[in-house]
A and B are shown apart, each in its own frame.
Chain A
Amino acid sequence: LRGLNNLLFYRYRDLAPQLVPLDYTDKPDVTLPYELIGSMPELKDNPFRQRIAEVFSEDGDGNMTLDDFLDMFSVLSEMAPRDLKAYYAFKIYDFNNDDYICKSDLEKTVNKLTRNELTPEEVRLVCEKVIYEADLDNDGKLSLEDFQHMIIRAPDFLSTFHIRI
């Protein structure tokens, strides 16, 4: 864990060497803007990079401190447990931050996954199908429990929700 944290610190610093000091004893209040985080080679082509940065940043806008940065990559590493990954994946797909993945969140997710190539009718059909299959408590939207239940049936989730640094 220490080796990984050291590596992540140097990657964080490499994004903006003039802003990030080497000395962190007095806990400096350094926040890197989202544009720098989103330009990392591991994230720059990921369709969900903005949501990832927003979920892990303290201010919710994608501007990350070192702690947020380390949190992000440790959740996305191989060692994070399934429940933690499921929790954060749920927050990433919850675009309006209301603790439920509702129809509009699903539509945005599907559009990001397919690069807007589906017609609105097809998107609507897919979202209805997802809610029909996964919504256990029949409230028309997916709660965290519904999402976790879905994750259990997709064993690849642990290896796909993973970014190598």
Chain B
Amino acid sequence: MKKKREIRNNVLKEITEKSGRRGTQLDCCTQCLRRTEVSFRRFRNSLSEHFHQLWLWHKTLKIIGGEFGTSVLSYFIFLKWLLSFNIFSFLINFSFITVPQFIAAEPNNLSFTGLELLTGAGYFQQTVLYYGFYTNATISKTENGASYNMQLAYIFTVGIYFVICLLILLFSMAKSFCRNFISPQTYSGNASKLLCTWDFNVTNEKAVKLKQKNLSTQVKEGLTDVHKEVQNFSVTERLVHILLHLGAWAASLGIAVAACSGVYFLSINNLEVRTDFAACFWRRIFPHGLQLLVLFLCRNIILKISIIGILCYYWLDIVAESKSQCWETLIGQDIYRLILVDFIFCLLGSFFGEFLRRIIGTTVCVSLGVPEFDIARNVLDLIYAQTLTWIGILFSPLLPGIQMISFFIVFYTKKVSLMKNCQPPRQVWRAAQMTTFFMFLLFFPSLIGVLSVIAVTVWRLKPSEECGPFRGLSSMFAAVSEWIKILENYTGSKWVVWIYNNLITSELFFFILSIIFLIITYLYWQIIEGRKTMVKLLRNQIVNVSSSFSFILFKVWLPC
């Protein structure tokens, strides 16, 4: 606190200098210096103030948090976080790949009709939007001037972006796990949660009253549960429960298989169809509840992973091996269309799921009531869209820009729909742990899957002969190996060649690295086990000490 007071006093001094006049008599030079110092500090302060105002959507997030609480707010914060990934990708792709390409651009002979915005083909095929347009030449503005190797720029920009993404996700996820999962037992008492659940973010009067009402309902339900300890289900009821669950699983797996084969055959015939209507429909049939939420998440994730898996298999095995002219651009166009369809269905989902549902819930079938904002479904949609974008970066470098625009529109649509159509959530939604889980989903099936797809594309597939920056090479990675071969002739860069030969292409190095990581992980795991035992022992000690103290107090000391 003392340090904060010091900072605060400095700030106050600066504010005073901003507004007040100093009455001290100084000579001309010092006065001049003092004035420039003050104006520079004023400028720096106003800049930091502006950055504070420019915090994207700061006011909007405050209003959403004020009315709907932390759980719904976590969705919008997640959306903002994903948007930052796309903005970063778009900026580096645009600066390092697209701008040099503009200098060496070939003329576009195709005509622009409006249909290209929907199909991604046509006029757009000969623009910087797709891989096929980029040159494989070394661009130089003047003869013997500085040259820019497009092949290396392309592969390094995309590669470094993914490495940075991986590191950012890894560290955020680790920090989140550390903060939210430190206790070995998660929920060991419902009543004591009461003291920790009040959401100070909620500032709207109606929302506060609603929250208080929900809390009192929960408390009353919790108290009645105390009285009936065990719910005795009869054997037939339990059997029916199990059969229902099995039926739901079989049905969703069946739908997943049907959807995947449908996607596969339709892709071969070049038609795009969205197949998770069934998943959304399935969600409406089953009511809320934590267990059912987990089941819904699992089913939805399995469906989405299988669809993306089938699509990747189709692209990498069939499209890439076909003798079409520019298979990378074809894949890029496919992904563009998928992202567009996903965006449209997201907006439609908002329209049907929230707007129409509210109309139905308030006029036709009043018992249904106003809908709540479905956080899980919306976050999974975001993760799906981001996965598609990441797969598409290699084939269409400006795709993150399109996804950026799409996320902006989705943010405002969801916000307006939320304010007008939804009510604050009634059930407890463990926002911190769910956000960690969603970050983990973004890391494990999503980013790792994308990295595997990109790795297969870069190392195994043969780039097309006639278009793109890697035309004529045996694989995209061959550009790097050829560059290393050129570097071998320069004595100054021998260290780069050494690193390449002994660290990057050497299997022994990665094998040894993996063994070391496994050993360190095992050691940490054993340390954690030891600490868990220690915590248990210490807790028992506290209880023992306090009970022996109260025994001594009441039985021995007080009666005397």
Whether B7 and A2, one on each chain, are in contact in the complex, defined by CB atoms closer than 8 angstroms, is yes
A contact residues around B192 at 8 Å (CB) = 130, 133-134, 150, 153
**Complex: how many Å from CA A140 to CA B61?**
41
Whether A6 and B11, one on each chain, are in contact in the complex, defined by CB atoms closer than 8 angstroms, is yes
**Complex: how many Å from CA A121 to CA B94?**
66
A contact residues around B74 at 8 Å (CB) = 159
Q: B236: CB under 8 A from chain A?
A: no
**Complex: how many Å from CA A82 to CA B432?**
14
Given contacts A6-B49, A7-B49, contact A118 B219 (CB under 8 A): yes
A contact residues around B545 at 8 Å (CB) = 137
Closest beta carbon of chain B to A29's beta carbon, Å: 14
**Complex: how many Å from CA A129 to CA B192?**
8
CB-based nearest B residue for A86: B196
Q: A103: CB under 8 A from chain B?
A: no
Q: A18: CB under 8 A from chain B?
A: no
Q: A5: CB under 8 A from chain B?
A: yes
Q: Is the interface of A mostly helix, strand, loop or mixed?
A: helix
The contact of B208 among A3, A46, A66, by CB within 8 Å, is A46
Within 8 A of B (CB), among A68-85: 70-71, 74, 76, 82
A contact residues around B546 at 8 Å (CB) = 136-139
A contact residues around B223 at 8 Å (CB) = 122, 125-126
Q: B539: CB under 8 A from chain A?
A: yes
Q: B213: CB under 8 A from chain A?
A: yes
B contact residues around A157 at 8 Å (CB) = 196
B contact residues around A23 at 8 Å (CB) = 16, 19-20
A contact residues around B100 at 8 Å (CB) = none
Q: A156: CB under 8 A from chain B?
A: yes
A contact residues around B8 at 8 Å (CB) = 5, 67, 70
**Complex: how many Å from CA A25 to CA B11?**
10
Closest beta carbon of chain A to B156's beta carbon, Å: 36
The number of residues on chain B lying at the interface, defined by a beta carbon within 8 Å of a beta carbon of chain A, is 70
Whether A1 and B7, one on each chain, are in contact in the complex, defined by CB atoms closer than 8 angstroms, is yes
**Complex: how many Å from CA A158 to CA B74?**
13
Given contacts A4-B52, A45-B205, contact A161 B1 (CB under 8 A): no
Q: B35: CB under 8 A from chain A?
A: no
CB-based nearest B residue for A93: B195
Q: A47: CB under 8 A from chain B?
A: yes
Whether B49 and A154, one on each chain, are in contact in the complex, defined by CB atoms closer than 8 angstroms, is no
Q: B490: CB under 8 A from chain A?
A: no
A contact residues around B33 at 8 Å (CB) = none
Tell me which of B142-150, B181-189, B296-304, B480-488 binds A: B181-189
Whether A113 and B215, one on each chain, are in contact in the complex, defined by CB atoms closer than 8 angstroms, is yes
A contact residues around B200 at 8 Å (CB) = 46, 48, 76, 160-163
The contact of B19 among A7, A22, A82, A136, by CB within 8 Å, is A22
Whether A22 and B16, one on each chain, are in contact in the complex, defined by CB atoms closer than 8 angstroms, is yes
B contact residues around A93 at 8 Å (CB) = 195
Whether A114 and B70, one on each chain, are in contact in the complex, defined by CB atoms closer than 8 angstroms, is no
Closest beta carbon of chain B to A54's beta carbon, Å: 16
**Complex: how many Å from CA A113 to CA B202?**
13
Whether B15 and A6, one on each chain, are in contact in the complex, defined by CB atoms closer than 8 angstroms, is yes
Closest beta carbon of chain A to B226's beta carbon, Å: 8
CB-based nearest A residue for B429: A156
Known contacts A9-B11, A110-B194, A156-B432; 19 further A-B pairs (Cβ under 8 A):
A2-B11, A23-B16, A24-B15, A42-B203, A70-B8, A74-B4, A109-B195, A114-B215, A114-B216, A115-B213, A118-B220, A122-B223, A130-B192, A130-B194, A132-B191, A133-B188, A150-B195, A153-B185, A156-B431
Give 10 pairs: A residue, B residue, CB < 8 Å, sorted on A.
Answer: A2-B45, A3-B49, A7-B52, A46-B203, A47-B208, A110-B194, A150-B196, A156-B197, A158-B432, A162-B200
| Interfacial residues, chain B to chain A (CB-CB below 8 A) | 1, 4-5, 7-8, 11-13, 15-16, 19-20, 45, 48-49, 51-52, 58, 61-62, 65, 70, 74, 179-183, 185-189, 191-205, 208-209, 212-213, 215-216, 219-220, 222-223, 226, 430-433, 539, 542-543, 545-547, 550
